[in-house]
Structure 1
Amino acid sequence: MDSHPSDKNLTLDSTHLFLSTQSSPPDSLIFAPIPRTLPPSKHIPSTRFLIDAFRYAADFSVSYFLSHFHSDHYTGLSPSWSKGIIFCSEITSRLLSQILNINPKFIYPLPIKIPVLIDGCEVVLVGANHCPGAVQFLFKVPGRNGGFERYVHTGDFRFCKTMLLQPVMNEFAGCDAVFLDTTYCNPKFLFPLQEESVEYVVNVVNRVGGELNEGLQKRVLFLVATYVIGKEKILIEIFKKCGRKVCVDSRKMEVLRVLGYGDSGVFTEDESETDVHVVGWNVLGETWPYFRPNFVRMKEIMVERGYDKVVGFVPTGWTYEVKRNKFAVRSKDAFEIHLVPYSEHSNYDELREYVKFLKPKQVIPTVGMDIEKLDSKHANKMRKYFAGLVDEMASKKEFLMGFHRGTSEIDENVEEGAGSGSNEGLSKEGEVKLKKTKATEDNSSSILLDSSSRLEEFGSKDVTALDDEETEKMVQEIRNCLPTWVTQNQILDLISSSGRNIVDAVSNFYEHETQLYEQVSACTTFISTSQTSSLDVSASTAKLNSDKTISQGSVKIPLSQEYKLPTIKHSIKSTLSPSKRKKTITNNPKKKGKVPSKMESSGAKQPTITSFFNKLLPNMSQGDVVESKSEECPKDENPLQSNAIKTYGEEIDQFLKIINGNESLKGYAATLLEKTKGNVSMALDLYYDNQEGDHGKTVNRLEFSKSSVQFDNCNKDCSSALEKIVSEELQHITDMSVQRPSKELMDPTLVSLPPEKYDPIEHACWSSGQPAPYIHLARTFDLVEAERGKIKAMSMLGNMFRSLLALSPDDVLPAVYLCTNKIASNHENIELNIGGSLVTSAIEEACGTNRSKIRDMYNRLGDLGR
């Protein structure tokens, strides 16, 4: 084992160190790729450093770090170890060589609090307040542009205030990730400080030992359960404050000698010298998952060693019962077991305080179930405990920075190609990529020019000049990340408000996307409706005045106000989506984030959601002027539709709510309900089946034609040609509904017929050659869910598949996957990645309800689908 020099600038090469241990070393080492199966908690990113991962040792690394000498961390080590260099503390290195008999040439001890350069990465060890020799590892890994990635690996540790006073810890505030000891990462674990627990043990020993020995003349034996290494603080305090030596077995004494306690006089192997004896961890009872005392074993020890009473101590956080007593006691006859909440792991509050101090970008749990996957259920649950304490914007910025880096790399490649005058330095594949990149940029530029040409025509051209090449380059980089409708003035405001930070500028844009879009759409809506209306107003009549306003008749729109970036408050970060934030402001300014919990409001809220995702520049049929006029005009309704509206009033309202329709579709809804005799489900089948054809276009044409006619009626200048269009469209819809086959009106319960009576072709709701409609599966699933008999349910599924085989055989396999709750076979590794939490949030957003109400309904119904 090498002794560590005192040089603070020590530089090590783990590959060179490993090769020096070989009798006939090769010239170099070839490392295999880091396997994906390696748990993330064992590997430091961008390095080949493995932490407490000896059982995963292979030919992809020779750099191994051991945080402390506990068997669950050094598993995989044996006297025959020769797979790499072990970096650890001085105390741990002695334990490895003297207790485990590891060859010292594979062990390299590192100093405490002194930076060491290993394989180009700076490594610092700091105390972990766990067992003797336990340390935390602080890594600085070289990154891009001369920067560093910083990682903290705590190993097993017990947080204490003194950790925050170490200067080196301040350097890791805001680190990229902390690999955290999450042994007690649960709010129920709030055990007291170590000092309080140690004081409790000392007081019990003094009190019970004095009473029994002096008053009743009975001998009492004190048993303290410990590991091979650990809990030494309790034993030393008993010696200091109770005046009693501590008896240990030969294995424990060997460890204590390595730690320097062999000649201290605190410990002895002679049982007769003291009444305080150390026993193995599970001698007094099992501690996991709940403590179960072993009074039988205690009685055997009492008789064997000649005592009248036994008092045991089990110092561990697992036995802490916060809802009962801080220090619980189990007793029977002459036996007592004190459950002492003494732990060498951090409790819940201490973990949160540590993470709050570090403010890392990410918390990676190192202890717990299923932590081999960072996105596992248990890992996500533990990370939620630190919500608000980590840098939640860091991952988003890193994602955006990826685009920024990609753009920079493309620019560099282009510049290099231009500088050489050819693409000689590029491979054919690179040339193809470069050509595609240039074509994409040219296409983007043409789209931007086209989308802004109308604004320039009316004087809304960006008039801000770019002051330097750097700003121009920043504008181009940001433009590549933003939608085409964003103006140059807005981009410049974003750059200014973000302190010329590209990532912050793009982040700010997406936080305020809706507001910025409304600025553009407010002006372009006016321009679009004016430019395309039937009035004889040409584009040349709109002039840019000297005060930068658009003149249209007597209306003036100040551009400087329309396009000004709204004030962005960086100190307030809302978790509401842009659509919900907009609803909150318009509906009830006094209540932030409060949404009405009425399920009936879904129809009114859906347009807000869809409009957020359908940001198309307004066209003539969506103009504000036309819509406002059409609402004020009286509607001329067909007499047949009027009767149907009166007859099926409630059904029509229900129909319109489901399809999220407006009043303009009321007549069409009445026509469908008249055909289906008031059956809303069948009317919906007709409606959605028509949408798959040309109904969507027909409705758009109809809505525009009707609004145009009503607009002209209000001005007493109605055109007979437009009336003819409306009548033709109405007749087309009616004829289409009548002539369309009535397959979709099939009774949805036909699939429940016995197999011998079910006709897979005649009883299906679609025809041969057509894609199988999802409603075929949905109806079957609905019937199967309500059916308790397995034979009957199997018959329904059989009928469903018979129709699929007869009419749409290509849809059989997808249907099989859907029946087994999958979308593809297992080997394809295709998942929706949609869990209950995401579905609940979507329902909350779409239906305008709140999470508590959804939870109550889920508890009552037992299924999110219902």
Structure 2
Amino acid sequence: MNGHILPGVPIAVDCFQQKTIGRVKFYFLSHMHADHTVGLTSKWNQPIYCSQITGRLLQHKYNISAHLIEVLEPSQPHLLSHKDRKLTVHMLDANHCPGSCMFFFETENSKILYTGDFRFDKGIPTEFKNIYNRLKPIDLLYLDNTYCEPTCVFPNRDEAVKMITDICEQHPEHRVYVGTSWVGHEDLLEKLSANLKEYVFVDSDFFSRLQLLEVVDVFKTGSSSRLNAVPNSKLTCSSIAEWNKEMPTIGIKPTAMFGGQCTTGSKSAGMLHCVPYSNHCNFLELTEFVKLVAPKHIKPIVPGRKYKSGMESMFRADMRQLDNYLCITEENTDFQTKSDNLKSGMNKKENLQQVQYKKHQGKVKRKVIKHKSKPYSRGVNFFNEHDKNTKARKCAKESLQIEIESEIVRNCHELFQDFFTKGNR
């Protein structure tokens, strides 16, 4: 689940658990991807604020009553009130998928920008500057950190479409299957259709969503011997191998999860091409956006966790790598100073000797780890990342009961705790 209850206001964005009812007054939905709609069912009975397209898709997928959907107009101020408090919200295009949007919340005392999932482009700065007063900086930015890591480098979407077009043109006699999300790849398919001068064939469920989006001109239902769209979950090497028994077939999966362009499979069994087409920002685009917004604080939307190689990691939830672009205030000057002290302390001593505890057969054993001289570049991590003792690492993460024998490291650990307590990020 990639949703949050905002601090200081009774507002939840992309957070629809039953336990929130009572302490949340206003529910907002940024877009219709499954990781942002956790908790929504046909039994949902609270009003939801969203875009018009998202409202249509809500009714289509979850059969939510129309009277519960509160449609917001783009870039227009909407006034909400609760217990004599007034709140203004602006909805901005997020450039992620049809209906996706950002929310800009303003009260008398605070400003919060919630990006949801987004892809930064030249249209966002113009739209944002129309409502943003730089004399009163944003207090808190909730940022889409899906690819918030310097190694996340991939092209813009037009360049990725060109890469997919080239692959199709290199296989003129092959049937092509393009992987798609539930919503979000319609623009890709339209541009691919225009480049190849081919119709795109989809199943009936996909076509019914296209009708809601009013983009059916280049689509047909059924399957063809040339250009087809299928759900990403059905596009695997094994399925391509089966399709190749009927006729020569290739698959194209548009995703930046694996970095650059790559290919798996074989000529005999069929090839699966992964192309770095993404509806999320790459790292450079994220830094440009944060420079534009210049908030006081940043909070990651995607929690710090790791599913598998290529997906979100703990490091991508570490917003300190964007500290240079924050608005400088007295409030966060001390915060930045502690961060700098922490980093310098970790780099001063080449060989750190620390103690980690692990549970073993009901007892606690003491284990000394000697770290190599290479300084840590991914924030504070007191454990050897190459240590293969999985149980020890898991125990350390859960308990955080670390005893530091070196005075330097002990001071760094105190700074680390104080850093996050005062930063509240």
1:368 to partner: Cα distance: 3.1
Please report the TM-score for the alignment, with normalisation by the length of structure 1. 0.38
Instruction: Give the 3-state SS of the residue equivalent to 1:137 in structure 2.
Output: strand
1:389 to 306, 321, 325: 325
Task: Tell whether the 8 Å contact from 1:99 to 1:255 is kept in structure 2 after alignment.
Answer: no
2:111 counterpart of 1:150: yes
Q: Map of 1:134-533 to 2, 5 A cutoff? A: 134-143=100-109, 149-166=110-127, 167-168=129-130, 170-171=132-133, 174-209=137-172, 212=173, 220-262=174-216, 264=217, 266-272=218-224, 275-285=226-236, 294=237, 296-303=238-245, 306-307=246-247, 309-320=248-259, 326-334=260-268, 335-369=270-304, 378=314, 382-391=318-327, 393-396=329-332
Instruction: Give the 3-state SS of the residue equivalent to 1:208 in structure 2.
Output: coil
Q: Distance in 2 between matches of 1:387 and 1:836?
A: 30
Q: Distance in 2 between matches of 1:59 and 1:838?
A: 48
Please report the TM-score for the alignment, with normalisation by the length of structure 2. 0.74
| Corresponding residue number in structure 1 for 2:31 | 68
Instruction: Give the 3-state SS of the residue equivalent to 1:151 in structure 2.
Output: strand
Instruction: Give the 3-state SS of the residue equivalent to 1:53 in structure 2.
Output: coil
Q: Distance in 2 between matches of 1:396 and 1:111?
A: 35
Give 5+ residue unaligned stretches, structure 2: 307-312, 358-362, 367-398, 414-425
Q: Distance in 2 between matches of 1:190 and 1:378?
A: 18
1:49 to partner: Cα distance: 0.7
Q: Distance in 2 between matches of 1:202 and 1:90?
A: 32
Task: Tell whether the 8 Å contact from 2:2 to 2:303 is kept in structure 1 after alignment.
Answer: no
The answer to which structure, 1 or 2, has the higher relative contact order (CA under 8 A, 6+ apart) is 2
Task: Tell whether the 8 Å contact from 2:145 to 2:317 is kept in structure 1 after alignment.
Answer: no
Q: Distance in 1 between matches of 2:297 and 2:154?
A: 26
Task: Tell whether the 8 Å contact from 2:89 to 2:105 is kept in structure 1 after alignment.
Answer: yes
1:63 to partner: Cα distance: 1.0
- How many residues of Structure 1 are paired with residues of Structure 2 in the alignment? 354
Give the 3 Å change call, closer, same or farther, for CA 127–221 of structure 1 in structure 2: same
| Corresponding residue number in structure 2 for 1:77 | 40
Instruction: Give the 3-state SS of the residue equivalent to 2:183 in structure 1.
Output: coil
Instruction: Give the 3-state SS of the residue equivalent to 2:234 in structure 1.
Output: coil
Q: Distance in 2 between matches of 1:310 and 1:252?
A: 21
Which structure: larger Rg?
A: 1
The aligned amino acid for 1:275 is R
Task: Tell whether the 8 Å contact from 2:93 to 2:101 is kept in structure 1 after alignment.
Answer: yes
Q: Could you list the per-position Cα deviations for residues 478-498 of structure 1 after superposition, in whole angstroms to 9, with x for gaps in the alignment?
A: xxxxxxxxxxxxxxxxxxxxx
Q: Map of 1:553-592 to 2, 5 A cutoff? A: none
Q: Could you list the per-position Cα deviations for residues 54-88 of structure 1 after superposition, in whole angstroms to 9, with x for gaps in the alignment?
A: 12532222310000011111121111111x21000
1:364 to partner: Cα distance: 0.3
Give the 3 Å change call, closer, same or farther, for CA 276–41 of structure 1 in structure 2: closer
Q: Could you list the per-position Cα deviations for residues 608-658 of structure 1 after superposition, in whole angstroms to 9, with x for gaps in the alignment?
A: xxxxxxxxxxxxxxxxxxxxxxxxxxxxxxxxxxxxxxxxxxxxxxxxxxx
Q: Could you list the per-position Cα deviations for residues 780-832 of structure 1 after superposition, in whole angstroms to 9, with x for gaps in the alignment?
A: xx9xx9xxxxx9x99xxxxxxxxxxxxxxxxxxxxxxxxxxxxxxxxxxx999
1:256 to partner: Cα distance: 0.7
1:299 to partner: Cα distance: 2.2
1:575 to partner: Cα distance: 5.7
Give the 3 Å change call, closer, same or farther, for CA 837–268 of structure 1 in structure 2: farther
Q: Distance in 1 between matches of 2:403 and 2:292?
A: 33
Q: Distance in 2 between matches of 1:576 and 1:89?
A: 45
| Corresponding residue number in structure 2 for 1:564 | none
Give the 3 Å change call, closer, same or farther, for CA 381–76 of structure 1 in structure 2: closer
| Corresponding residue number in structure 2 for 1:91 | 53
Task: Tell whether the 8 Å contact from 2:262 to 2:275 is kept in structure 1 after alignment.
Answer: yes
Task: Tell whether the 8 Å contact from 2:3 to 2:14 is kept in structure 1 after alignment.
Answer: no
Q: Distance in 1 between matches of 2:31 and 2:404?
A: 38
1:284 to partner: Cα distance: 2.5
The aligned amino acid for 2:13 is I
Q: Distance in 1 between matches of 2:241 and 2:121?
A: 39
Give the 3 Å change call, closer, same or farther, for CA 127–364 of structure 1 in structure 2: same
1:244 to partner: Cα distance: 0.7
Q: Could you list the per-position Cα deviations for residues 558-585 of structure 1 after superposition, in whole angstroms to 9, with x for gaps in the alignment?
A: xxxxxxxxxxxxxxx99679xxxxxxxx
Q: Could you list the per-position Cα deviations for residues 173-202 of structure 1 after superposition, in whole angstroms to 9, with x for gaps in the alignment?
A: 731010011111112211111110011111
Task: Tell whether the 8 Å contact from 1:62 to 1:85 is kept in structure 2 after alignment.
Answer: no
Q: Distance in 1 between matches of 2:32 and 2:112?
A: 22
Give the 3 Å change call, closer, same or farther, for CA 105–118 of structure 1 in structure 2: same
| Corresponding residue number in structure 1 for 2:97 | 131
Give 5+ residue unaligned stretches, structure 1: 1-38, 144-148, 213-219, 286-293, 321-325, 372-376, 400-510, 512-572, 578-592, 600-781, 786-790, 795-829, 845-866
User: Superposition RMSD on alpha carbons, in Å?
Assistant: 3.8
1:250 to partner: Cα distance: 1.2
Give the 3 Å change call, closer, same or farther, for CA 253–138 of structure 1 in structure 2: same
Q: Could you list the per-position Cα deviations for residues 149-196 of structure 1 after superposition, in whole angstroms to 9, with x for gaps in the alignment?
A: 111100111111321122335436731010011111112211111110
Q: Distance in 1 between matches of 2:49 and 2:108?
A: 20
Q: Distance in 1 between matches of 2:35 and 2:273?
A: 26
Q: Distance in 1 between matches of 2:74 and 2:244?
A: 44
Instruction: Give the 3-state SS of the residue equivalent to 2:41 in structure 1.
Output: coil
| Corresponding residue number in structure 2 for 1:840 | 409
Task: Tell whether the 8 Å contact from 1:183 to 1:368 is kept in structure 2 after alignment.
Answer: no
Q: Distance in 2 between matches of 1:312 and 1:40?
A: 29
Q: Distance in 1 between matches of 2:162 and 2:292?
A: 29
1:843 to partner: Cα distance: 7.8
Higher strand residue share: 2
